[in-house]
Every structure is written in structure tokens, then in C-alpha cells.
Chains A and B, each alone.
Chain A
Amino acid sequence: MAALLALEPAGLRRVLKAGLRQGVEDLPLRELVAQELDCEPGSSAVDQLLAQLQQRQWLVHQGKIWKTRLA
């Protein structure tokens, strides 16, 4: 969680925080990312950011839920 605290910008912290607690479903996550990136939820920018976060294994898919894994 120190990693979460250290992340910039604040929007990225908000996105990853959404994956804590019980996790977040795909559509609300995409909407949150889109809000932070000021684009549409279906845009490639959202796809790219989610893909990067998955590649870093900071976000993982568990069924229909995205969960944050920063450890």
C-alpha cells in the first residue's frame, strides 16, 4: 500500500483504490478511468491504461471483478 500512496497522479490512485474493498466491476472501472482521462469509457485510451495496469499486475481480473494487487 506504500506503492499506492506514492503513485502520481491522484487519478491513478483513485483508479487503483477502486480495486480494493470488494473490487470493482468492468463498467464502473472504465467509467472512472474515462473520467480521469477525460475521454469516453469505450475509448482506446481506457483500454491502454487498463492493459498497462494488468501488465504490471496491479489490477487483476477475478471473474467479473477487477481487484487491485499492489503487494
Chain B
Amino acid sequence: MVKILAIHSFRGGTGKSNLSANLATVLAMGGRRVAIVDTDLASPGVHVLFGFSPSADQQTLNDHLEAGVPICRCAHEVTPAEVKQARGHVWLVPAAMNSDRIARLLREGYEVEKLNDALFELAEVLKLDVIVVDTHPGINEETLLSTAIADCLMMVMRPDGQDYLGTAVAVEVAQRLDVPAIRMVINKLPSYFDAQQVRERVSSSYQVPIGALLPLCDELLTLASGDLAVLRFADHPWSAGVQQLAHDLVASVL
């Protein structure tokens, strides 16, 4: 049965989409069939990491939610060459980048259970092992759904006061929705921060296992979301952290 990994953060700018794309890639490098779904309908972006931009005749998640286009037609294979060699697959379900489409969907809304049904229909058609759901920051219908249906929720935060407070709200929501597994991911950790202190503070604040402490790094800034760090900088501590997180998920959740 497909496993749902929801990548969430209370605030924007935590590196959620980067983590989603790179984590999906690492999991696929293990020979898995992985889809990544951009449910950040208000500010989509994960497609950039795969160098994918839907052309006018290519379907997006919006086409499924608004017009009932079969979800499998909204999924596009973006498997990197290195992942193909490992016999893995990555499909992307992007969200529309057109401002009119975004505004229309936000204005008219949709039944969020459609998104739930779409994920499992996609899993059946593509014979998926994992779906990585990249979410919008904060609490809304899509993020609540993703949290409710997740096998594991990854809460991404920076070591920042506003993130600490907001993440507490999101973790409380997740616990209220009985998410089977939660992992904290502290991203963009400056080198001058005491990692052990941060680890202890996060552990004591949320009583949730820490999935990864990922450093703030120039290499990722250089990539500027234009590529996948786990492929371009495979030996970098950031990539190693994502690989370790994937290893933890494979051992405990997948």
C-alpha cells in the first residue's frame, strides 16, 4: 500500500519544497516509485527543482480539481538520470503557475476530499510506493487534509523564534489528528549555532523525534532551487542529512 509523506511547515521559507523534492529523489534512488504532489496551490514551486514547467497543453493539479481531468494525466515523469539507473521513478503533479488559475481556484474553492481521492487514484494507476505531499505553509484545508491522511508528517522549521511558536501549533494539530508518525526537520541551521543545543530545545519543546538537522549552506543557495542538491552535492552534509532522514523513514515508516 502506498505511503503518504506530508512535508509541512507553519511558516514559509523553511525549505519545504527543497526538502520535498530532494527527499522524493533519495527515496526513488532506492528503486521506489515516488510521486511528489504540489498542493501549495497559492504559491506552487516544487516543479522548479525538477526543471519542469508545464506547457499550455500539459495538465496540472488544478485541472483535476477544477475540471475533473484524470489525475494520472496531471502527473509528469521527471525521473533524473541517476534515479533511472537505480530503477526508480519520480512523477510530479505540479500546480498551475498561471495567476488567473490560482486566483480562480482560491476564489471558487473545491471539495478537499477530491485531493484525498486523487492521491490514492494516482497511487493505484502508477503503482506508487510513496507519495510526497508538498504543502502550503500554515493551517488550511489542504494542509489539514495532508496531515490527516499522512503516514508520516515532516514538520520543517528554522531555528527561529517565530518558527518555534508556530510549529508548536502545527504539532498540536497533528497530534489531534492522530498522525501515526511525526518527524521534526530543522533546516537552515547556521554553522555558528550549537547543533546539540538546538536538538535538545526542539526535543523538549515538541516531544517528537527529530528526523534531521540540516545546515544552512552556500551550495544550496547557489543552486537557488534550480536543481536537486542530493544529486549535485551528494557528499554535502545537507544531502547526507536528507539521505539519513530517508533511511530513517524506510526503517520506521515505509
Contact = CB atoms under 8 A, between A and B. Distances in A.
Interface of A: 1-2, 4-5, 10, 13-14, 17, 20-22, 67-71
A14 B145 CA distance: 14
A13 to B, nearest CB: 7
A1 B141 contact: yes
B235 interface: no
Contacts of A5: 144, 173, 176-177
A1 B178 contact: no
Interface string B106-142: 0000011100100010000000000000000001010
B112 A13 contact: no
Contacts of B168: none
B123 to A, nearest CB: 9
A12 B187 CA distance: 35
B148 interface: yes
Nearest to A4: B148
Contact of B145 (A1, A10, A22, A69): A1
Interface string B89-116: 0000000000000000000000111001
Interface of B: 4, 111-113, 116, 120, 139, 141, 144-145, 148-149, 173, 176-178
B182 to A, nearest CB: 15
B110 to A, nearest CB: 8
B116 to A, nearest CB: 6
A21 B120 contact: yes
Contact of B141 (A2, A10, A22): A2
A17 B116 contact: no
Contacts of B116: 20-21
A67 B121 CA distance: 14
A17 B148 contact: yes
- Of B112, B116, B178, chain A has the most CB atoms within 10 Å of the CB of B116
A4 B177 contact: yes
A1 B120 contact: no
B177 A13 contact: yes
Closest 8 CB pairs of A and B: A1-B144, A71-B111, A1-B145, A21-B149, A22-B120, A1-B141, A20-B149, A71-B112
B148 A2 contact: no
Contacts of B144: 1-2, 4-5
Given A2-B141, A2-B144, A5-B173, A17 B178 contact: yes
